[in-house]
Each structure stands twice: as structure tokens, then as C-alpha cells.
Amino acid sequence: MAIAARAGMTCREVEKLLDLFLDGELEARTMRTVALHVTRCEPCEALLQGLERLQDVVGDTIGDAVAEVDFARFWPSIAAEVDGVQRSWRGLGGRVRALARTPLVIAAAMAAALVVSAIALWREMPAIPPPPTVVNNQVRIDTLTSDAPAVALLSESATNTTVIWISEEGRGR
């Protein structure tokens, strides 16, 4: 009870929010409060781990069920549909051949072929490389707390990349 009071939420309140916590649907402050409570309360942590396992099992079961579907059965019905479409196109063939004999259609076809060739040539041209982007990973750290025995901040000058480095080797020293 004292643990729950320290974390700002009772175990009963936290239990109700664990589903939303796992789905990442909690408001930021509540998320943090639940996370802090769980790290300090063994029963709630166990409950969260149980929910995580349950989610994994449900995910695996759905994956297995999809894997077991026999897609080969679909092919006969798809082949029948394709056959029907092909028959309707055969009727169009004669009309298209008659149209192709008219000069206007021939000219339009040549123009279309020229446009397609121009687009193909344009796409073949080498792309202009984008200008090099300057990486700047500058970070401002407002607060930092840790349960680890030692924490160090490292920084790299070229890109201002910061590392929060946790060392567990200082334990007991």
C-alpha cells in the first residue's frame, strides 16, 4: 500500500490501466505513473508480464491460423474468373483491328509511342544526388535519474551525438 502511495496510484487503479499501457494509449503523465508503479510493485509487474505473454500468444495463434489457410483452394475459382475476362476481351479484338486501319488512329498511336519513349529516356537519366545533409543530434537534458550504479554522459563533437551510458560495474564499489 505504501508502495502504491509512493508511485501516486493504487494497484487497483494501475490494474485497470495495464491493457491501455501495453497498447501505448495512455496520456503521457499516466503512462509514466503506471510505468513507475510497475517498476516498484512486484504483483503489478507480474500482472503486466502475464498480459504481455497473453498478447504474444494471441499474436502467435492468429499467425498460425493464417499460415494454415490452404490458398491452393482459391486458385480454381480465380482461374475461372480470369477465363471469363479473357472471353469478353476476344470479342473486342475484331473491333480493335478494324479501328487500327484508320489513319487518325495510326497517327495517335505513333504520338503515344513517342511520348512513352521520351518518358523512358527521361527516367534513364542519372538522378542529381541530393546535397549532403548536416547531422546535428544536439540534445538538452533537463532531468536525469537512474537506479544504475553509475551513469555517464558522452558526447561526440562532429554531430553533437549524446550518449547516456549506464555502467553496472560500479555496483558494490
Contact call for residue 9 and another protein (CB under 8 A): no
C-alpha separations of 3 from 11, 15, 38, 52, 138 in Å? 9, 14, 10, 23, 37
Per DSSP, the residues of 149-160 read: SEEEEEEETTTT
The 98-137 contact track toward another protein, x by CB under 8 A, reads --------------------------------------xx
Among 1-9, 17-25, 101-109, 124-132, the segment contacting another protein (CB under 8 A): 17-25
C-alpha separations of 74 from 71, 77, 82, 87 in Å? 5, 6, 13, 21
Contact call for residue 164 and another protein (CB under 8 A): yes
Nearer to another protein, 77 or 138 (CB): 138
Q: How far, in Å, CA of 17 to CA of 51, rounded?
A: 12
Contact call for residue 2 and another protein (CB under 8 A): no
Contact call for residue 88 and another protein (CB under 8 A): no
Q: How far, in Å, CA of 58 to CA of 52, rounded?
A: 10
What residues line the site for another protein (CB under 8 A)? 21-22, 24-32, 35-36, 38-40, 42, 45, 136-148, 151, 154, 156, 158-159, 161-168
